[in-house]
Structure 1
Amino acid sequence: MPIEDSIDLHTFAPRDIPSVVEEYLTEAQARGFDEVRVIHGRGKGVQRQVVRRVLSRHPAVRDYRDAPATRGGWGATLVWLEPPPPGESDPRA
């Protein structure tokens, strides 16, 4: 999966969402991203809840909140990441 400043979860099976988000956040942090956007869709809010559970316990996450309307609104979450630990940044970033 390419690591960019956003990930659209619509292409993944619902059962895979927690592991996909965990791996994405870890890789995004290693590549030095300080903010990323997770696009989970609006729907009934089930995927949003799944994503928020992962975010609340992931060690790379400093903060998160709903994206503004111009960046997906309730269908996306902005995530601010901690800087990568010293010596663990990805030279391919």
Structure 2
Amino acid sequence: MSEEPHRTPITPELDLHTFRPSEIGELLPEYFAECLREGIRGVRVIHGKGTGTLREGVHALLKRLPEVQEFHYPAAEGGWGATWVVLRPLEPESTADPTGD
């Protein structure tokens, strides 16, 4: 019996408590891409307070992701345990022929 992959609902809030730190590097870009496809441009990422290790890792990743326009810590809602992320709008797909024909 194969186990179905867990589908995370796409909402303006992502709680990282259910994920391993090693999953964050893949999870955030994929989640943000789905948010943009759904028209969601703001996401509250809940990383918790703890030792700050997860928050630091999340912030380092956010600085490198091209889809992140800006982020604010602490988040207005969620305080020190969350970061508010603003995503760049999707670029409209070009209908021009790249060959120039």
Larger relative helix fraction: 1
Tell whether 2:55 aligns with 1:75.
no
Deviation of 1:30 after TM superposition, in Å, equals 2.3
1:1-93 matched pairs, under 5 angstroms: 1-66=8-73, 67-68=75-76, 71-87=77-93
SS in 2 for 1:74: coil
% identical aligned pairs = 45
The structure with higher relative contact order (CA 8 Å, sep 6+) is: 1
Spell out structure 1 runs of 4+ moving beyond 2 A. none
Considering only aligned residues, what root-mean-square deviation do their CA atoms show, in Å? 1.1
Q: Which string of whole-angstrom CA distances, capped at 9 and with x for unpartnered residues, describes residues 19-42 of structure 1?
A: 111211121122221211100000
Largest Rg, 1 or 2:
2
Structure 2 length normalisation: TM-score? 0.78
Structure 1 stretches of 5 or more lacking a match? 88-93
Q: Which string of whole-angstrom CA distances, capped at 9 and with x for unpartnered residues, describes residues 2-53 of structure 1?
A: 1111100000112112211121112112222121110000001111011111
Count, aligned residues: 85
Q: Which string of whole-angstrom CA distances, capped at 9 and with x for unpartnered residues, describes residues 40-85 of structure 1?
A: 00001111011111110111111101102xx111110001111112
Letter in 2 for 1:73: G
Structure 2 stretches of 5 or more lacking a match? 1-7, 94-101
SS in 1 for 2:57: helix
Structure 1 length normalisation: TM-score? 0.84
